Amino acid sequence: MEGGGRPSAVQAALLAASTAITALLYSVYRQKARVARGLEGARKVRLDGDLRAVLLEAPGRCVPYAVIEGVVRSVKETLSSQFVENCKGVVQRLTLQEHKMVWNRTTHLWNDCEKIIHQRTNTTPFDLVPAEDGAGVTVRVMKPLDAAELSLETVYEKFHPSVQSFTDVIGHYISGERPKGIQETEQMLKVGTALTGVGELVLDNATIKLQPPKQGMPYYLSALDFESLLQKQESSVRFWKILTVVFGFATCTVLFFLLRKQYRHHRERQHLRQMQEEFRQAQERLMNTEGGETLKNACVVCLSSTKSCVFLECGHVCSCHECYQALPEPKKCPICRQGITRVVPLYNS
């Protein structure tokens, strides 16, 4: 602690950083918990002949947050894989990713670094249909790229290592970057994939659409079933809750330490003030005592010199020798006004 009981700059910075991290983690935890509660409260609907009737009875022909499970079927022509024969899908993502080693000047180590140098995503309209054919009910999936947990299967992946000459190697060591190669990846959402969709379900004329919800809840298109998706979100909530509790406990520990130090400093200052007051009072008592003795032994005439004469025959001891000499003739005792016949010197041991 610094002077005055204030925490040091390091302690204040530690408390501020711990508090900020705790607040950030708590905010993420609150958001994750809200998503999990919303997902748990989503209405489960079946992709069957009763779905249209359910939407007709719903306010605005809309279920704000619904869960529906079905199988992917293309509306128009499907997308064909560029590398795998007879691989058809409705979402295709092609990615070129550069892999290289970068020299870290702080740790003096080579670190792996990945960078996407090109990515293209192609989509075609698709529906969710029942796993068993014959029901005749379809749900059009809108804006699939906006969905979280969009399950794309990697159908092709190949790494093309860099070919380097000796001159290139020297140049890479000088520049601090060593290219390793290019990774080419193709991901697809295949036709026939079972999907769980969570979002706003609306009846638009004759078309049933699944689209991102308007209340700010997340939009899901996942290959997991609903129970697995819910368990995944709840696990995420528990993880962030544990982090929040741990950092919250650390923040409380730092705060308790600072308050305890400040309290001890306050007690020490209070004890010091009490000791100073006791010392002052003792000094005053001592000064009063010494002053009283001095006043008691002072000459009653000048009040400065010490009494040093005994007047006879009255016996009063009330003046110093100088004041006795200055008394007018006939000399009389300043106390009783009796005549002084003789004076006996007083010696204080």
In this prediction, residue 258 has a pLDDT band, given cuts at 50, 70 and 90, of confident
- Is the per-residue pLDDT at 253 higher than 70? yes
| Rounded CA separation 341/318 (Å) | 15
pLDDT at 205: 84
Say if residues 75 and 125 touch (Cβ distance below 8 Å): yes
pLDDT tens digits, one per residue of 134-190: 557 889 999 999 998 888 999 999 999 988 888 877 887 888 888 889 999 999 999
For residue 103, what is the enclosing H or E element? Answer: strand 88-104
- Boundaries of every domain in the chain: 7-41+226-285, 62-224, 297-345
| Rounded CA separation 68/145 (Å) | 18
For residue 196, what is the enclosing H or E element? Answer: strand 194-204
Q: Find, among 213, 232, 214, the residue nearest to 222 by Cα.
A: 232
Q: Is 346 helix (H, G, I), strand (E, B) or coil?
A: coil
Residue 303, C-beta contacts closer than 8 angstroms, at least 6 positions apart: 295
Say if residues 320 and 306 touch (Cβ distance below 8 Å): yes
DSSP letter for 86, please. T
- Is the per-residue pLDDT at 286 higher than 60? no
Q: To 10 degrees, the CA torsion angle through 51, 57, 63, 68?
A: -10
pLDDT tens digits, one per residue of 52-98: 888 888 898 999 999 999 999 998 889 999 999 989 999 999 999 99
| Rounded CA separation 215/290 (Å) | 87
Strand partners, 73: 127
Copy the structure tokens of residue 219.
């939009």
pLDDT at 291: 47
In this prediction, residue 4 has a pLDDT band, given cuts at 50, 70 and 90, of low
Q: What is the mean pLDDT of residues 250-276?
A: 87
pLDDT tens digits, one per residue of 95-129: 999 999 888 888 888 899 999 999 999 999 999 99
- Is the per-residue pLDDT at 1 higher than 60? no
Topology annotation, domain 297-345: Herpes Virus-1 (3.30.40)
pLDDT at 135: 58
